[in-house]
């Protein structure tokens, strides 16, 4: 089956045909590093990580560029509030973003450029737009003339006459049209600035992505995307900028839906942001990834603790099969090929919900084989399960869920817990031997309350952390 993706620009599912056979270029709009990331932010990272993994599995050489916005009005306001340099704020939260991506098993992009590292390219693009008649300088600022670009509004399916004013302020009243947006902002007293032909200043938010796609992916590339909220004005403005200088720009547009709380988009300004670091204290990172991966990337996720706990239960069933399968069949390598039904689901606009259904069907078949003691079949189902988990970034045996130091700490902690559990299990076995089943049940219940699940098997009791 041919890979098909929903293209926001055409509002249709299209066969994916890369510009260069065997290669795929992707640009994902990364985070503005003005605060710690919440799970709504990081859903984009997880969705595009699955996309890159699936394309890689399908044999493509993937170049994935994900930017970092490290100069922005919000960053400057945060720096002023804290009375520190803007770069201290940006550096701190860029580290937080990297930590969140890594915590949820997102593979690093091919390149992760910062806005402040590409000021010369942005100045050159702005000058080119002015020369081509798409932009104009006024009072130290530079604005894009949206009326000069007939396609403006096509991505978001809007007509120019119906649009409101651009969301960037114009205190100088220098815009020719209130819908024009800023390419270059003249410096205010105390703000960081770079020299330019129009005076000292800094780039507007939209300009950085056009400059970076041109530099790292060329005049045309395959896939561009991000969250739904970026379609307008950010991605609309990128198209105007890039096509304004003659670039063909993106061939496909992918947008993931939001994580909502009480049907409202998650966001710091609404006070409903659930930070990745805080949620990961209550739920294992792999469970959080499973929770974010499971729905279709274009479907909204209504966050609730009950829903993520259900995700944890579902993922635990997979882990329990893996543990028991390895005990019976020994370690096996993941298959080189995933099951056909899984591949068909993934090729259908990254149909992860259907793919995970295939995954759980395979686990159930493996459990039947375990009950029958069929070692050969168990090994086959284990290899199939691992292949599918690796595509989704959910393999507990291989994914970098923590740094090496954290893994060492976790191993040491598990060893300590194991010794304590072993003592409790010896006491439980002794109680059962003397037929004091009430005491045995109480020990099992106490372990369960502490997060240790006990499963009695023919080989003896097995424990897992829940």
pLDDT tens digits along 348-365: 999 999 999 999 999 999
Average pLDDT along the chain:
91
Peptide bond into 227 cis (omega under 30): no
Instruction: Sheet containing 249-256: give its strands across.
Output: 61-66, 23-28, 220-227, 249-256
- Range list of β-strands (E), 42-161: 61-66, 135-138, 141-144
Q: Decide if 223 contacts 256 (C-beta within 8 A).
A: no
Sequential DSSP letters for 100-125? HHHHTTPPPPSB--BGGGGHHHHHHH
Q: Name the more confident of 453 and 206.
A: 206
The pLDDT of residue 465? 64
DSSP 3-state of 211: helix
**Confidence at 324, pLDDT banded by 50, 70, 90:** very high
Own/partner pairs, 455-464, CB within 8 angstroms, 24+ separation = 455/320, 457/324, 459/327, 461/425, 461/428, 461/429, 462/323, 462/324, 463/418, 463/421, 463/425, 464/316, 464/319, 464/320, 464/323
Residue 226 corresponds to which tokens in the numbers above?
Answer: 């991000």
Q: Decide if 89 contacts 174 (C-beta within 8 A).
A: no
The pLDDT of residue 8? 98
**Confidence at 408, pLDDT banded by 50, 70, 90:** very low
Task: List Cα–Cα distances, 377 to 192, 277, 280, 343, 371, in angstroms.
Answer: 64, 40, 35, 21, 11
3-state helix, strand, coil in the chain (%, to 5): 50, 20, 35
Check whether 400 has a pLDDT greater than 60: no
Packing angle between helix 437-449 and helix 404-433, nearest 10 degrees?
160
DSSP 3-state of 180: coil
Q: Decide if 258 contacts 301 (C-beta within 8 A).
A: yes
CA angle 135, 139, 140 (to 5 degrees): 75
Tens of pLDDT, residues 171-204: 777 899 999 999 999 999 999 999 999 999 999 9
Residue 238 corresponds to which tokens in the numbers above?
Answer: 């990128």
pTM: 0.86
Domain boundaries, the chain: 4-256, 276-392, 404-465
Task: List Cα–Cα distances, 82 to 75, 78, 89, 207, in angstroms.
Answer: 11, 6, 9, 27
Tens of pLDDT, residues 368-399: 999 999 999 999 999 999 999 999 999 988 76
Tens of pLDDT, residues 86-137: 999 999 999 999 999 999 999 999 999 999 999 999 999 999 999 999 999 9
The CATH homologous superfamily to which domain 4-256 belongs is HUPs (3.40.50.620)
């Amino acid at each position: 089956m041919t890979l098909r993706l929903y293209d926001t620009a055409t509002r249709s599912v299209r066969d994916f045909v890369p510009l260069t056979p065997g290669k795929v270029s992707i640009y994902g709009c990364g985070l503005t590093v003005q605060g710690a990331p919440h799970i709504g932010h990081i859903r984009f990272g997880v969705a595009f990580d699955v996309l890159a993994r699936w394309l890689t599995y399908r044999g493509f050489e993937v170049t994935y560029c994900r930017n970092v916005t490290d100069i922005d009005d919000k960053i400057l306001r945060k720096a002023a509030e804290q009375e520190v340099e803007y770069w201290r704020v940006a550096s701190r939260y860029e580290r937080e973003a990297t930590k969140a991506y890594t915590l949820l098993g997102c593979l690093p992009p091919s390149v992760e450029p910062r806005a402040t590292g590409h000021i010369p390219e942005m100045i050159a693009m702005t000058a080119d737009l002015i020369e081509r008649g798409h932009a104009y300088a006024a009072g130290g600022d530079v604005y894009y003339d949206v009326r000069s670009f007939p396609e403006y509004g096509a991505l978001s399916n809007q007509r120019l006459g119906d649009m409101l004013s651009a969301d960037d302020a114009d205190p100088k009243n220098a815009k020719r049209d209130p819908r024009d947006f800023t390419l270059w902002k003249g410096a205010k007293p105390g703000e960081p600035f770079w020299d330019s032909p129009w005076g000292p200043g800094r780039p507007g938010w939209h300009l950085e992505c056009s400059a970076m796609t041109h530099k790292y992916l060329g005049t045309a590339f395959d896939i561009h995307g991000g969250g739904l909220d970026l379609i307008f004005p950010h991605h609309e403005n990128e198209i105007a900028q890039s096509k304004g200088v003659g670039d063909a720009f993106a061939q496909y547009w992918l947008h993931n839906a939001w994580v909502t709380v009480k049907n409202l988009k998650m966001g710091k300004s609404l006070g409903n942001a659930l930070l990745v670091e805080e949620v990961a204290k209550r739920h294992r990172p792999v469970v959080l990834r499973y929770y974010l991966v499971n729905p279709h990337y274009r479907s909204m996720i209504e966050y609730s603790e009950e829903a993520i706990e259900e995700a944890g239960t579902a993922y635990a069933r997979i882990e329990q099969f893996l543990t028991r399968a390895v005990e019976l069949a020994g370690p096996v390598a993941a298959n080189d090929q995933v099951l056909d039904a899984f591949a068909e689901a993934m090729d259908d606009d990254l149909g992860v919900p259907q793919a995970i259904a295939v995954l759980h069907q395979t686990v159930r078949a493996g459990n039947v084989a375990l009950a029958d003691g069929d070692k050969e079949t168990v090994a086959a189902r284990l290899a199939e399960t691992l292949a599918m988990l690796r595509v989704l970034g959910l393999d507990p045996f291989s994914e970098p869920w923590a740094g090496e130091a954290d893994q060492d700490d976790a191993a040491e902690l598990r060893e300590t817990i194991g010794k304590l559990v072993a003592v409790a299990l010896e006491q439980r076995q002794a109680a059962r031997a003397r037929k004091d089943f009430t005491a045995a049940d109480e020990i099992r219940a106490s372990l369960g309350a502490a997060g240790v699940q006990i499963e009695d098997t023919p080989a003896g009791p097995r424990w897992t952390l829940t």
